[in-house]
A and B are shown apart, each in its own frame.
Chain A
Amino acid sequence: MSVLVFVEGLNGEIKKSSLEAATYGSQVAQQLGTTTTAVAIGDVQESALAGLGAQGVSKVLYDSDSRLNQFVADAYVKVIAKAVEQENATVLVFSNSNIGAAVGAKLAVRLNGSLATNVTSLPKTDGGSFTVTRGVFSGKAFADVALTSDLKIVAIKKNSIDITSGEGTATVESISADLTDADFAATPKETVMQDTNGGVLLPEAEIVVSGGRGLKGPENWHLIEDLAKELGAATACSKPVSDMDWRPHHEHVGQTGITVSPNLYIAVGISGAIQHLAGVNSSKVIVVINKDPEAPFFKAADYGIVGDAFEVVPKLIEAAKALDK
């Protein structure tokens, strides 16, 4: 019996969301009185893998096959399934990323496991049960879900676990799953990375600065970008803004866009339609800046400023600059 965590790399480092998954896995292992192993694939530096010891991981199984530098679901599933078997894992932990949810679902079928995605809590394990809480109804509610198979698979919602940082180094061992050409049938032809405006990925961001129609046009987006830069934040937008092509669709936050759960969400010129709220309402702190005092978003906010974005945001940028000094 052990807990196995799948960690994802980006530019040689381990993604923040995977460090959260590793922390979660170690805490579950402690609960169950067992050890935590990680499995990593593709472009991750060995020093980053060994560093997972800080999150309580004792061993990392690493497949360095360069064909795995791009995500190919079937190949990833084969490597992780091998790791599950080798470690006799009874709990398998992912981050609730596009990769984590897809691979977790395939593994649930292949290994006859129970799967819960979007998980926000450590499991309750009284009396042999394994019950986790997950976000449902687009953040408007939570559900407690009992996983009933021998293998429990969970995908952890981003920013719902504080990363621990302890002593220790994980040992790194190689793993190979005898991958064949057939496993790479859906290999991407091309990968295009977005301009992340300072390197902060929206789904991983701890702070998000988001703009709506109140910005009046794409030519005014420098206000959002400048504030985001000062705060080390990712930028985002409301649906009407991406529909009007002021901003790319991958910045659209909301019910049918990206769901985010940062520590701080700053909404500028967004009135707060219920579909937008569904994408942000699990943010820890919400700030709303809008010149309409009746904007519904104020009801969901922790801090609010009734004012014109063109006057308020420059003041925030100045104050943020002063903080750094």
Chain B
Amino acid sequence: MKILVCISNVPDTTSKINFTADSKAFDKNGVQFVINPWDEYALTRAIELKEAKGGTVTVLNVGEADAEPNIRKALAIGADDAIRVNANPTDAFFVAQQITAVAKENNYDMILMGKESIDYNGSQVHSMVGEMLGIPSVVPAFKLDMVDDSTARLEREIEGGKEVVEVKLPFVASAQQPMSEPRIPNMRGIMTARTKPLAVREPVSAEAKAEYVNYSKPEKKGGVKMIDPENAGELITLLRNEAKVL
């Protein structure tokens, strides 16, 4: 089974978010980058399936060279090889086209990625890739098992419940908790990752359809109003009469 796992290189979850002086771009200065946490669920599940059923796991990142430490980390966790499409990802449509171009050349049995990235929170790329390839996309899935060699069984979240879906390979799925328990790379993994193949290819021509023109931060809150725990019931009155939310 050939599995493609798409990973984003995103600011660490504890990062303070800042923008350039003209508010037109994210300011990477002083920011640590990690594998997108949602993508880690997809990556670990892919590796678990490979360990149980055989096959290969290829990691794909659409990004610039500074993503390579996290691509190597994915290899250290257990992916077999990696591809980096050398481009600054401009929007979801651009990224989906790059993933689709790689997928068309390699006939993967499944394409997995996180349900969204924690930076742009788009939840679009997986469904776009499914549509571009003409194969089903099951999103967002929190359980993924193989029924037999050609059919997978997924559980996906719907508002208010879950659905069980069985799909023939190939398909696209996005991952969310608790699909797997992300792994920390061990020393042996880190050493072998250094020699695993990481191919760099140039992007296919694709136009972005959403142009990010300005960034801003939410207004700061006015401060917290503390209430005496002895008179905790006063809070309910304030929520009704002052905040007007009850």
Chain A contacts to B: CB under 8 angstroms: 10, 15, 70-71, 73-74, 77, 97-99, 101-106, 108-110, 113-118, 131, 135-149, 185-194, 196, 201, 203-204, 207, 231, 242, 249-250, 252, 255-257, 259, 263-264, 274-275, 278, 281-282, 284-285, 287-288, 298-308, 311-312, 315-316, 318-320, 322-323
Contact = CB atoms under 8 A, between A and B. Distances in A.
| Chain B residues touching A, range | 35 or more
Contact of B229 (A190, A191, A275, A306): A306
A147 B209 contact: yes
Interface stretch (B46-54, B70-78, B189-197, B234-242): B234-242
A143 B212 contact: yes
Given A106-B130, A115-B209, A194-B161, A138 B137 contact: no
A263 B240 CA distance: 12
A142 B131 contact: no
Contact of A204 (B142, B159, B236, B240): B159
Interface in B24-39: 26, 37-38
Contacts of B171: 186
B121 A117 contact: yes
Nearest to A137: B17
Interface in B104-140: 118-128, 130-132, 136-140
B65 interface: no
A147 B212 CA distance: 9
Main secondary structure of the interface of B (DSSP, over half): mixed
15 contacts: A104-B124, A106-B137, A117-B121, A118-B122, A137-B17, A141-B17, A148-B209, A188-B156, A192-B164, A194-B160, A194-B161, A231-B246, A252-B177, A301-B221, A304-B224
Contacts of A194: 160-162
Contacts of B168: 185
Contacts of B126: 105
A187 B154 CA distance: 12
B228 to A, nearest CB: 8
A92 B169 CA distance: 31
Nearest to B11: A137
A276 to B, nearest CB: 10
Interface in B144-176: 156-168, 171, 176
A274 B224 contact: no
A137 B177 contact: no
A105 B130 CA distance: 10
B19 A316 contact: no
A118 B136 contact: no
Nearest to B162: A192
A105 B118 contact: no
B226 A304 contact: yes
Contacts of B26: 137
A303 B245 CA distance: 12
Contacts of A15: 159
Contacts of B132: 109
With a 10 A CB-CB cut-off, give which of B92, B118, B209, B212 has the most chain A CB atoms: B209
Contact of A319 (B162, B167, B221, B232): B232
Nearest to B123: A101
A212 B17 CA distance: 26
Given A109-B132, A191-B162, A136 B215 contact: yes
B217 A303 contact: no
Nearest to A206: B245
Given A145-B212, A186-B167, A106 B128 contact: yes
B165 A256 contact: no
Contacts of A105: 92, 123-128, 131
Nearest to A131: B213
B121 A108 contact: no
